[in-house]
Amino acid sequence: MAITYLKTAAPRPAVENKDVRDIVAIMLANIEREGEAAVRGYAEKLDGWTGEIVLSDAERKAACDRVPDALKDDIRFAQKNIRRFAEAQKATLGECEIEVMPGLIAGQKQIPVSSAGCYVPGGRYSHVASALMTITTAKVAGVKHISAVSPTRPDIGIPDPIVFAMDLCGADLILNLGGVQGIAAMAQGLFGGKPADILVGPGNSYVAEAKRMLFGEVGIDMFAGPTDSLVIADHTASADTVAWDLVSQAEHGIDSPVWLVATDKVLAEAVLDRVSALIASLPQPNAAAARTAWDERAEVILCDSREEAVQISDRYAPEHLQVQAEDLDWWLDRLSAYGSLFLGKETTVAFGDKTSGPNHVLPTSGAARYTGGLSVHKFTKTVTWQRCNEDASHELALRTARISRAEGMEGHARSAELRLRP
């Protein structure tokens, strides 16, 4: 048995995050101190936005009216799939009640958070799908108030298709804001919003750091890094299909790793031969981003067996995992560390990124070893309750008092023993 690297990633440079942390800390402190004035200042300085922060109902309607009907239909199609999958997830959330011992009743309830802040990334791409994924899922979970923000473009604001998606999904408040200032505005409930109980959605390193710093004060979906994807392929796979699936994910950005784990050398070498031409066929700046990601972050790994392929994949714990190989049920049964799994040549990560239903806000940088992606569960608190009658209280009090004194916690013991009094 052997594992051979036909292409390795360049050593990742030591990244100094101190500057990002310092900048974000200063911005959050200024916004906490100065509120909306500071947010407006950052919006103008960083994004060139001097217009209104809150998108009015009239502005929402005007933006929606400008979206072509065909694109509206496509967005509605995607939103319907995302909603249906989220509703199926919600159906798995259960409440229970049990008599733990005679006279002691305990139970579990599912309670949605009251407010959520959804960040929709902008910049080079208009991430319509991120609006669908975050806001729809929060709505299905039963969140009462949903704020949404997205980076503006000078003199335009949030791109119309994103506004349409936010409105379609039921955002209660839309703010023309991106970056740290957008995150802070939702966390604090500025501009007529409600302070967010949880902040969700992908963003750049400054957005990720702002969420990290605010975690504890508010909940967050996850600590996110650059998106990553891994393809497992055997001799039955098409080199052209595998190559395009890798290139399409490298398109995300220069720091987005893509990995091929192959059990067939001919297939692996054919993919290596195809990638450069496919990247060159992309428009700019997509091609430049994909080229850097492929040259510096991509790896091609040859395995002697599918068992070795599983070991490699589980070790990398990719955000997106595609399997283009025989016996798909075997892979489904054995793979255990991934954000979302795409089985068979007929599916692709691009479907999951945009339209197929399961959420595309997923764990990156190996976090799939211990967590899953965004779901209705992230917006829902699983809480417990209990009550007991006098007989159960008597026995619980005796045992609680003895354990408490064994721990040295006299106050607990006396609180329990009060329940022994007539």
Task: Identify the domain boundary among 274, 309, 338.
Answer: 338
As given in the structure block, the two tokens for residue 333 are 């049964």
Which stretch of DSSP H or E encloses residue 11?
none
As given in the structure block, the two tokens for residue 30 are 């200024």
Contacts of 215 (CB under 8 A, 6+ apart): none
The CATH number linked to 303 is 3.40.50.1980
* 46 within some domain: yes
Distance CA 108, CA 170 (A): 29
Task: Identify the domain boundary among 164, 190, 220.
Answer: 220
Distance CA 313, CA 315 (A): 5
Distance CA 114, CA 146 (A): 9
- The phi and psi torsions of 6 (rounded to 5 degrees) equal -80, -20
Number of domains in the chain: 3
Does the pTM surpass 0.75? The reply is yes
- Cβ atoms within 10 Å, residue 66: 12
Task: Identify the domain boundary among 220, 235, 270.
Answer: 220
What is the dihedral sign for C-alpha 11, 14, 15, 17?
positive
Domain housing 183: 18-220
- Catalytic residue check, 319: yes
* 11 within some domain: no
Nearest of 82, 78, 165, 124 to residue 252 by alpha carbon: 124
* 135 within some domain: yes
Q: What is the mean pLDDT of the chain?
A: 95
If phi over 0 gives left and psi between -120 and 50 gives alpha, with beta otherwise, what is residue 192? left
238 and 214 assigned to the same domain: no
The residue type of 133 is M
Please give the sequence-ordered ranges of beta strands (E in DSSP) within 222-374, or none if there are none.
229-233, 258-262, 299-303, 320-324, 340-343
Given 145, 252, 320, 360, the catalytic residue: 320
56 and 204 assigned to the same domain: yes
3-state secondary structure of 384: strand
Cα atoms in the Cβ-side hemisphere of radius 13 Å centred on 347: 22
185 and 92 assigned to the same domain: yes
Given 319, 360, 394, 417, the catalytic residue: 319
Q: What would the DSSP string read from start to end of 135-177?
A: HHHHHHHT-SEEEEE---BTTTBS-HHHHHHHHHHT-SEEES-
Distance CA 326, CA 61 (A): 49
- Catalytic residue check, 320: yes
Residue owning tokens 């409440």: 95
* 175 within some domain: yes
Burial of 99 (0-12, 13-18, 19+ CB in 10 A): exposed
- Rounded to 5°, the CA angle 175-354-222 comes to 60
129 and 27 assigned to the same domain: yes
Give the distance from CA 231 to its chain's centroid.
20
Nearest of 78, 222, 69, 197 to residue 142 by alpha carbon: 197
* 88 within some domain: yes
As given in the structure block, the two tokens for residue 336 are 């255990």
82 and 195 assigned to the same domain: yes
83 and 203 assigned to the same domain: yes
Which stretch of DSSP H or E encloses residue 111?
strand 104-112
- One pLDDT digit (tens) per residue for the chain, 422 residues: 589 999 999 887 655 577 889 999 999 999 999 999 999 999 999 999 999 999 999 999 999 999 999 999 999 999 999 999 999 999 999 999 999 999 999 999 999 999 999 999 987 778 999 999 999 999 999 999 999 999 999 889 999 999 999 999 999 999 999 999 999 999 999 999 999 999 999 999 999 999 999 999 999 999 888 999 999 999 999 999 999 999 999 999 899 999 999 999 999 999 999 999 999 999 999 999 999 999 999 999 999 999 999 999 999 999 999 999 999 999 999 999 999 999 999 999 999 999 999 999 999 999 999 999 999 999 999 999 999 999 999 999 999 999 999 999 999 999 999 999 87
The DSSP bridge partners found for residue 321 are: 230, 341
